[in-house]
Amino acid sequence: MLKKWIGKSLFKVTGWKVDAGHNLLEDKQVVIGFPHTSNMDAVRSLAFFASLEIPVHTLIKREFFEGATGMLLKKLGAIPVDRTKGSNMAQNLAREFQARDQFTLVLAPEGTRGKDGVKPPIKTGFWQIAKAAQVPILLMLSDSASKQGRLIGKIWPTELATDLEQIAQAYAAFGVVLKLPEANKD
């Protein structure tokens, strides 16, 4: 109840609204968000789901989990991640999805912000996780123009290139341009 109140209050105080897209929500899902322009996007994302009373999880580098900070991060739903090659992150998270009745993983894929105005292609780890877990990918938008946090679509992962094109088209409808990785490079 307190999280819901805090989430709704944050949106109200900042003049933002929640467009939940309840018809898109599942018991298990990977949620990706674009555009990612500042750390406030993460705060709004957490407030968005708190206002809907949906517990969420996110991935944070394992180095941040030392001491008391680690306990707090875990309490907030953070999952430590080993970002080295060969860590089998997608398979490990697929097991997390299988072990729970409800599980929402919220991610801001790398590649949403670029240095010197040059955006790199988005990373596709979110797709690998959703595919391995056999859960949908929900598309979240931080819509600054209308001051709304909203869900704008859902896809079930089938084929990477096709799915990325669908994701790019969904965001393009809201003026968000995603740079996609070249075939077989990501």
Q: Is residue 129 part of a domain?
A: yes
Domain region containing 6? 2-172
Helices of type H across 76-180 = 89-99, 125-133, 160-172
Q: Which of 106, 98, 54 is nearest to 79 (CA)?
A: 106
Q: Is residue 179 part of a domain?
A: no
Q: Tell me, what's the pLDDT at 186?
A: 45
Q: Is residue 52 part of a domain?
A: yes
The series of mean pLDDT values per 10 residues for the chain, 186 residues long, is 70 72 89 77 75 84 82 81 76 92 88 66 92 96 80 95 96 91 62
What is the C-alpha separation between 96 and 116, in angstroms, rounded?
37
Count of domains for the chain: 1
Which tens digits make up the pLDDT trace of 118-139? Answer: 778 888 999 999 999 999 999 9
Q: Is residue 177 part of a domain?
A: no
User: Between β-strands 58-61 and 78-81, what pairing exists: parallel, antiparallel or unpaired?
Assistant: parallel
